[in-house]
A and B are shown apart, each in its own frame.
Chain A
Amino acid sequence: MEFGARSDPGRVRENNEDSFRLAPEINLFVLSDGMGGLEAGEIASKLAVETVVEHCEQAEADPSLAVFGKHIEGVSDACNRMASAVRLANTAIYENARNRGGKAAMGATIVVLRVFEDRVCIAHVGDSRAYLLRAGQFDQLTEDHSFVADQVRRGVLTPEEASRSRMHNVLTRALGIDPTVDVDVTEELLMDGDVFLVCSDGLFRELSNAQITGILGETDDPQRAASRLVDLANQAGGGDNITVIVLRNSPKSSRPFAKIGRWFKGTDRVAEPEK
C-alpha cells in the first residue's frame, strides 16, 4: 500500500482543527475533524486520532486486549477492533470536555481505515468521508451522519438540494458529545489498483467528484495526489480546513514479499522531484 497525506487550514480559517495519523506498519490510517470553540476542536481531533492509533497498536502487540463496547455482527475482528478504538476515542473526548467544566462543546468526526489481509475495513462517525476509486468508478464508502444526509436517505431532499443546503454543517453524530457513540463499520475486498481517499469536509465541499476523480486517476504518486487535491480545494475557496489521505494499492505492490523487500530497501516510496 502506497500512501500520502496532507492537511491545510484552508484560506479562511486561522486554525486547523483537522488531525490525521498514519501507522503504515499496521496499515492503519486515521483522520478526524474537530469542532468547538477556541482550541477545543484541535484538542478533540488530536485526541481522537491518537486514541485510535494507540488502541490499535496495543491490540496488535496484545490481541487479548479488551474490546470496548458491543461486538458488531457481520464484520471481521479487525473491524470490531477499530470500532472499539473509536468508542474509546469518544470516551476520551467526552471526559476531556467534562474536565474542562462541561460547558465547552467539543466534538470530532473520525474515519479509520485499515487494510487487513484481503480486505479494507472502515469505521467512521460524523461527516468526514472515505471514497474508493476502482476501475474508473468513484464511490463514497461512508454515509455522513449529518442532518442533510439523513434527509436525503429519507427522500426529503435530493442529493443536489442537499449540496446547496445551509444545514450542511449540522451533524447528527460525532465523538465526544454523548457518553457512548454508535460506530458505523464497513468492509471492502481489496483489489489491485484500488485507490482510497479519506478526507474532511473541507475537500468535498469545494470540489466535485469529477475533479477529485480526475486528480486521483492521473496522479500515480499518492503524496502528490494528496497535495494536488489540497491545492485545488484552496483554489476553489478553501473555506474550511482540508485534510486528505490517499492510499493506492498498486498492482506491483500487491505481493507481500515484494512489498516487504521494498520496505527494507527503502525504495517503496521514491520521492518525486518538486516542480
Chain B
Amino acid sequence: MSKLVLKFESSVLQEVAVGQKEVSIGRSPDNGIVIDNPAVSNYHARVFTEEGRLMLQDFGSLNGTFVNGQRIKMIMLKPGDSVAVGKHTIVVTDSVEVRARSLDHAEMKPAVPKMNETVMLDTKDRREFLEKVAAVGESAQPAPGRMKIPTLVVRNGNTDRPEYALNDKLTVVGKSAMATVKLRGWFKPKAAAQINRKEDNSYYIGPADKTPSVNGEPITHPTKLASGDLIEVAGVELEFVVRD
C-alpha cells in the first residue's frame, strides 16, 4: 500500500494511505486531502488504484496538477514521485518506508498549522524578510526623521493664534474645547472641519458641521492637502504650508 504525504515547503501537513478507496484532492472540505488555498480547485484531482497500479487524474483543474514538473491529466504514480498542486507538494512513498515512519509517529500527530490559517513570521525570519522586501519600492516610503510638520497659517478671520503646527493625528477647526484651531465669535460651529494625519504622514481635510472649501472647491469627502492649499471654513481662511 502506498502513502501520500502532503507537504508545504519542508513541513509535512498530512499523510494519507491509498488502498482500495480512492483519495480525492481539493479545496472542498470533503476531500481526502484538503488544500485550503485559492489556487486549488474544489475538486482538483484524485489518486486511485487500477489493476494494482497507482493512478493520478486531474479533474480539469484551473491551475493544473504537475508530476515531477510536468502538467498532467492522468498518469501512473511510482514511489518517489512528487505531485505539485498549487504551492503544495504531495510526495508518493511506498509501504515499506511508510511502515518504518509510522512506527515512530504512530500516536503522534504533529501540531502543524492548517494552511490558510493566519501565521506570524517569526522574529528572525521576519527581520530577514522585511529587509529583503525593504529593498523593493524603497522610494515609495517616506524617509523617516526628515518628516516636515506642516503649518496652518491664518490668512483671514478670528482665531486664537496666527498659525498652528499640525502635530496631531486629528486637528479640529472649531469652537469646541478640544479644537486645535479655535474659532472666536458668535455662531461659530463647535467643529467646522477636521484634518487627519495618516500613517504615511499625508494630511486629509474633511467636513464636520460645515463644508470647508479648498482653493474654492467645496470638500464633501476627505481630500488630500498639498502645500499652498487655501482652506476656507466658517468665515476663516487658512493656508496649508509645508516649509522647507
Contacts and interface: CB of A to CB of B under 8 A. Distances in A.
Given A75-B169, A172-B126, A35 B137 contact: no
A189 B121 contact: no
B70 interface: no
A256 interface: no
B114 to A, nearest CB: 9
A105 B120 CA distance: 9
A239 B116 contact: yes
Given A12-B29, A38-B111, A153-B200, A169 B136 contact: no
A74 B167 contact: yes
A50 interface: no
Given A74-B168, A139-B222, A151-B133, A37 B111 contact: yes
Given A12-B36, A189-B170, A135 B220 contact: yes
A117 B178 CA distance: 9
Interface string A232-273: 000000011000000000000000000000000000000000
Contact of B194 (A178, A184, A189): A189
B134 to A, nearest CB: 8
Contacts of A187: 168-170, 196
Contacts of A147: 121, 129, 133
B172 A74 contact: no
B229 to A, nearest CB: 19
A177 B118 CA distance: 13
Given A139-B222, A154-B137, A172-B126, A201 B39 contact: no
B14 to A, nearest CB: 15
SS class, residues of chain B in contact with chain A: loop
Given A186-B169, A187-B170, A177 B123 contact: yes
B197 interface: yes
Interface string A5-46: 000000010000000000000000000010101100000000
Given A74-B168, A119-B170, A177 B196 contact: no
| Chain B interface extent, by class | 35 or more
A164 B38 CA distance: 8
Contacts of A164: 38
A156 B121 contact: no
Contacts of B168: 74-75, 187
A171 B118 CA distance: 7
B208 interface: yes
Interface of B: 29, 36-39, 86-87, 111-113, 116-123, 126, 129-130, 133, 136-138, 140-141, 167-170, 172, 176, 178, 190-191, 194, 196-197, 199-200, 207-208, 220-222
21 contacts: A12-B29, A37-B111, A38-B111, A74-B167, A74-B169, A118-B178, A118-B191, A137-B222, A154-B136, A155-B140, A166-B37, A166-B39, A166-B86, A169-B117, A186-B170, A186-B196, A187-B169, A187-B196, A189-B170, A189-B208, A239-B36
Given A135-B221, A154-B137, 14 more contacts: A35-B118, A35-B120, A37-B111, A73-B167, A74-B167, A79-B169, A135-B207, A137-B221, A139-B222, A147-B133, A153-B140, A156-B133, A166-B37, A172-B121
Interface of A: 12, 33, 35, 37-38, 73-76, 79, 105, 107, 109, 117-119, 127, 135, 137, 139, 143, 147, 150-151, 153-156, 164, 166, 169-172, 174, 177-178, 184-189, 191, 201, 239-240
